[in-house]
Structure 1
Amino acid sequence: MADRVSSRHDADSVSGRPHARRFPRRTARALLAAAAVLAVSACAVGPDYQRPVQDVGVAYAHAPEGRWIPADTPPQALPADWWALFGDPVLNDLMDRMPRGNLDLAQAEAQFREARAALDSARAGLFPSLGVSGSVNRAGQGVSDAGNPATTYSLSATASWEVDLWGRVRRDVEAARAGEQASAADLDAMRLSLRSTLAQAYFGVRASQLQDALLARTLDEYARALEMTRNRLAAGVASPADVAAASAQLDQARAQRIRLGWQREQQIHAIAVLLGQVPASFRLGGGASLPAVPRVPVGVPSALLLRRPDVAGAERRVAQANARIGVAQAAWFPDLTLSAQGGYRAAEFASWIMAPARFWTLGPALAASVFDGGARAAAVASARAAYDAQAAAYRKTVLDALREVEDALVQTQALAEEQAARDRALAAARETLRQVTNQYRAGLVDYLSVVQAQTSALSAEQTALDVRAERLTASTQLIAALGGGYSFN
């Protein structure tokens, strides 16, 4: 629809008319009111969003007895500071420091700000745009001053607004809002993953420090056993083979401690990077023991839809893809734009206050694409395919989340049973070592029996310590699988 233009003419002043027609304010107001009514009453094209259906069951198959909540009661949520369940002050301090220095988290936060800016940009399409321009032009005719060059001064303001008749802008805002929410969920998922990694690395270091202390005590015992065997060799009650066995056992324990040392340093370096620090400047003191394994509230599977940030992010991406279908479908309908312009144009500044210098334009414009070679149909098909892909990704994310929880539940239960068995084996190995050592000192057995008993006892000590650390790691993984205190609203 062509714009209607009304301007002041020099002929008006020549003919003696004092002023041209006044600016048709009533017409403008009526036109804007009608456009507003159309924009409000119009329906947004495209499908309205509904969350994809995915069966999650009513309870976990491996939930411990009495630790899952019936589906008709609110699920017990993990605390936001879930690491406090372990009761370790050093771990709490590391968790407090990590968000301030971690660079992966800083990158995720920047990406979230980018998504928020995209939402603000999409919202801007709901409002009119305003502009101001000014110019000075000098024009003449011919190659000499005889052409009487003239100078024209112009100052104008413009306003335009695309009426969202078909909901394209609203669907665009809807997609941007879902994208921002997905980015926020990604930020929480990154934060949860980093905290889980930090906790597991911390428990690994503490277990390694306890292993180092165990090997240090073992080396002292092996050194005393070697000295005793040498003395017995000098007294003629031991053989050189006994001395060689005691010496080999001591060196093997030393080699284990060396390997354990550099592996522990690598874990400490990983913690330093998680905190955003240079590895050379970070130290983690020893002396602390492993904390007790906490009781983790498991809840019901349906809670994962709200407690897992990756699940929430995947669901928001489905909503984003659904909104983009409406954006693509809106391209089939014409665009209605309201525009207005007004200002002053004269040969002298003083003439701007006179009526003939004023000009204005006002009118709607309706534009539609008649033939595009199938581009719009392809865009709609592409948007629908993208939605199907995101819906499948969401369902797969839910299934993966359920699997991770079930795996963690199986592991935590099995490790608890294994620890009880390992503790019994450790007690038996210690008793065997005590009896064999007494028998060796009495000359009833050779030193090879002592070596075997010592090796068995050390292995039992190390395995029992490893299982304790694995239980802490499994509990951390279970907490992360359950969402780690995250809540999507």
Structure 2
Amino acid sequence: MTERKFSSLSATEKIARAALGAVAMALLAGCSFIPAYERPAAPVPEHFDGVAEAAASPLSSWRVYFTDPSLHVLIEAALNHNRDLKIALARVEEARALAGIARAERFPTLDAQGSANRSRTPADLTGTGQPLVASRYDAGLGVTAFELDFWGRVAALSESARAQYLATDEAAKSFRIGLISDVANTWLLLTELAEREHLAAETLNTREESLTIIRKRQEAGLATDLDVLAAEGLAESLRAEWADLKRQRVQTENALRLLTGMAVTLPAPTNLANQPSMTELAPGLPSDVLLRRPDVRAAEQRLVAANANVGAARAAFFPRIALTTGMGTASQELSGLFDAGSKAWLFNPVLKLPLFDAGRTRANVDMAEARKVQAVADYERTIQQAFREVADALAAGSTFSEQVVALEANLRAQQARFERVKARQQAGIANYLEVLDANRDTFISGQVLVSSRRQLLSAHVTLYKTLGGGEE
């Protein structure tokens, strides 16, 4: 009986039943075209040069790593008031909202609906010779154009939006670590410039006093015009350098105020030699280091999003079924809207099957796959860049330590030379040009030493940043 009944169906009805059967099987099977995600291998060496195999030391909070109380005040102000950080955090909230919107597309939207409609048809159109006034009132609940996600297209778009949100969140964390590093480095630069400016001012006073002495000696016939001109040239060149250092210091103060949101009064810089030391860090193996960096994690989430977009593009080859349905009451009179017998319902599934689109769907798949290739390359490049930054920071820390020791010894030698030449000049054995030359070399050595001390401390700041910061 069943077979005869089925055979009597029209061809259209058979196709419709077959299509519904296929849709039901797909629904039960939970089809998805999202490719299985596999994290690409890190294209970097297994070890950092000069670093033995060892577990990485735990990264402490910046409050523990940076021990300078003045720097604590500045970093706190930056984290609370920096406008760029506020923008980054707002973008995270925007991405979170977009992910929520994409996730909501996987569920039907239920709306309460109410409508009233009155219309008048002219007499010559009614067929009865009398005008017709009609009224209709409706109230009910309904679902509009909900896509039945048999092929995982909507799920893939939701997964992509979620990964984009996570990537944005990691990017904000990376920006936050960068902001802490920028504040610390700018503070160290300000300290360096203040110290160098103070050193230049002291040396300028010494040279002006020497110039006064040489002019008196010239008047007494004990010094030549060449001695006076040499002393004047050294004094004025140092005056110009002093002015340059003052300008750099003020500009650095302005940069630090901008980083901190102009929320605090800048503390007075201290001597770099008296700066509190920072916590020593052992980087460990590259795999331990690089995968905890927020920028690497952000690049991986962008890759996850690109992978999901490939699945969504592939699913576009298959039919989409959108369902519109509603249930409620309807009546010609508002007072009879909820009377017995006023029940009304609507069931309207729509099947959309792509037949010809001039290659648009295929091109979308090609574009999604190309973007995935780009995301893989971006992830690998980010890891390589991270490896280089850590290696550079390690090299800078070790070499600047050696450089500072050598420059301290050089400064002691230049100071001893200056004192001896000055004594020889006072004894009439050496001329004053030798004194000025020794004084200039001592000043330059002091300036270079201060700069190298700042670079050594900045290398520790950079290492903290390149290792991905610490937990708060």
What interval of TM-score do these two structures reach, taking the shorter chain for normalisation? 0.7 to 0.9
TM-score, normalized by length of structure 2? 0.87
User: Alpha-carbon deviation of 1:277?
Assistant: 2.4
Note if 1:77 corresponds to 2:19. Answer: no
Contact 2:166 2:301 in 1 (8 A): yes
Q: Deviations over 1:247-276 (max 9, x none)?
A: 322222222111100011111111111122
User: Counterpart of 2:45 in 1: which secondary structure?
Assistant: coil
Range with bigger deviation, 237-246 or 396-405: 237-246
CA distance in 1 between partners of 2:325 and 2:463 (Å): 61
The equivalences for 1:185-200 within 5 A come to 185-200=170-185
Alignment partner of 2:67 out of 80, 83, 87: 87
User: Alpha-carbon deviation of 1:486?
Assistant: 6.3
Match of 1:133 in 2: 113
Note if 1:47 corresponds to 2:35. Answer: yes
Q: Which amino acid aligns with 1:463?
A: V
User: Alpha-carbon deviation of 1:383?
Assistant: 0.7
Note if 1:259 corresponds to 2:259. Answer: no
CA distance in 1 between partners of 2:290 and 2:216 (Å): 70
User: Counterpart of 1:149 in 2: which secondary structure?
Assistant: strand
CA distance in 1 between partners of 2:206 and 2:398 (Å): 35
Contact 1:171 1:327 in 2 (8 A): yes
CA distance in 1 between partners of 2:349 and 2:131 (Å): 40
Range with bigger deviation, 358-367 or 142-151: 142-151
Q: Which amino acid aligns with 1:152?
A: R
Match of 2:418 in 1: 433
Note if 1:59 corresponds to 2:47. Answer: yes
User: Alpha-carbon deviation of 1:332?
Assistant: 1.6
Q: Which amino acid aligns with 2:391?
A: E
Alignment partner of 1:225 out of 207, 210, 228: 210
Contact 2:272 2:450 in 1 (8 A): no
Alignment partner of 1:249 out of 234, 250, 256: 234
Contact 1:304 1:311 in 2 (8 A): no
CA distance in 1 between partners of 2:437 and 2:28 (Å): 86
Match of 2:310 in 1: 325
CA distance in 2 between partners of 1:344 and 1:353 (Å): 6
User: Alpha-carbon deviation of 1:365?
Assistant: 4.0
Contact 1:308 1:486 in 2 (8 A): no
User: Alpha-carbon deviation of 1:190?
Assistant: 1.4
The equivalences for 1:441-452 within 5 A come to 441-452=426-437
CA distance in 1 between partners of 2:217 and 2:65 (Å): 53
User: Alpha-carbon deviation of 1:120?
Assistant: 0.3
Match of 1:28 in 2: none
Q: Which amino acid aligns with 1:45?
A: F
Range with bigger deviation, 165-174 or 224-233: 224-233
Contact 1:62 1:406 in 2 (8 A): no
User: Alpha-carbon deviation of 1:417?
Assistant: 1.1
Contact 2:37 2:304 in 1 (8 A): yes
User: Counterpart of 1:420 in 2: which secondary structure?
Assistant: helix
Range with bigger deviation, 141-150 or 213-222: 141-150
Match of 2:79 in 1: 99
Structure 2 residue ranges without an equivalent (≥5):
1-21
CA distance in 1 between partners of 2:281 and 2:202 (Å): 35
Q: Deviations over 1:102-160 (max 9, x none)?
A: 12112211221111111001110121111232222223333699525233222232125
Match of 1:387 in 2: 372
User: Counterpart of 2:122 in 1: which secondary structure?
Assistant: coil
Q: Which amino acid aligns with 1:128?
A: P
CA distance in 2 between partners of 1:479 and 1:192 (Å): 9
Match of 2:5 in 1: none
CA distance in 1 between partners of 2:99 and 2:121 (Å): 52
Alignment partner of 2:456 out of 457, 471, 479: 471
Q: Which amino acid aligns with 2:57?
A: Q
Contact 2:123 2:132 in 1 (8 A): no
Match of 2:160 in 1: 175
Note if 1:147 corresponds to 2:131. Answer: yes
With over 3 angstroms needed to count, the CA separation of the structure-2 counterparts of 1:340 and 1:446, relative to structure 1, is same
Q: Which amino acid aligns with 1:51?
A: R
With over 3 angstroms needed to count, the CA separation of the structure-2 counterparts of 1:40 and 1:277, relative to structure 1, is farther
CA distance in 1 between partners of 2:373 and 2:363 (Å): 15
With over 3 angstroms needed to count, the CA separation of the structure-2 counterparts of 1:141 and 1:312, relative to structure 1, is closer
CA distance in 2 between partners of 1:265 and 1:40 (Å): 70
Range with bigger deviation, 364-373 or 125-134: 364-373
User: Alpha-carbon deviation of 1:482?
Assistant: 1.7
User: Counterpart of 1:296 in 2: which secondary structure?
Assistant: coil
User: Counterpart of 2:376 in 1: which secondary structure?
Assistant: helix
Match of 2:143 in 1: 159
With over 3 angstroms needed to count, the CA separation of the structure-2 counterparts of 1:158 and 1:320, relative to structure 1, is same
The equivalences for 1:101-116 within 5 A come to 101-116=81-96
User: Counterpart of 1:355 in 2: which secondary structure?
Assistant: coil
User: Alpha-carbon deviation of 1:288?
Assistant: 5.0
Q: Deviations over 1:406-453 (max 9, x none)?
A: 122222221111111111111110110111111111111110110111
User: Counterpart of 1:45 in 2: which secondary structure?
Assistant: coil
CA distance in 2 between partners of 1:432 and 1:84 (Å): 42
Q: Deviations over 1:301-344 (max 9, x none)?
A: 11233222111111111110000011011112222344421122
Alignment partner of 1:210 out of 191, 195, 214: 195
CA distance in 2 between partners of 1:319 and 1:123 (Å): 16
User: In the comparison of the two structures, how many residue pairs are matched?
Assistant: 444
Alignment partner of 1:420 out of 405, 408, 419: 405
Contact 1:182 1:312 in 2 (8 A): yes
User: Alpha-carbon deviation of 1:172?
Assistant: 1.2
Q: Which amino acid aligns with 1:116?
A: R
User: Counterpart of 2:105 in 1: which secondary structure?
Assistant: helix
Match of 1:7 in 2: none
The equivalences for 1:335-374 within 5 A come to 335-362=320-347, 364-374=349-359
Note if 1:400 corresponds to 2:385. Answer: yes
CA distance in 1 between partners of 2:101 and 2:224 (Å): 86
Identity of aligned residues (%): 31
CA distance in 1 between partners of 2:252 and 2:100 (Å): 42
Range with bigger deviation, 146-155 or 185-194: 146-155
Contact 1:78 1:297 in 2 (8 A): no
Q: CA RMSD in A?
A: 2.5
User: Alpha-carbon deviation of 1:346?
Assistant: 1.3
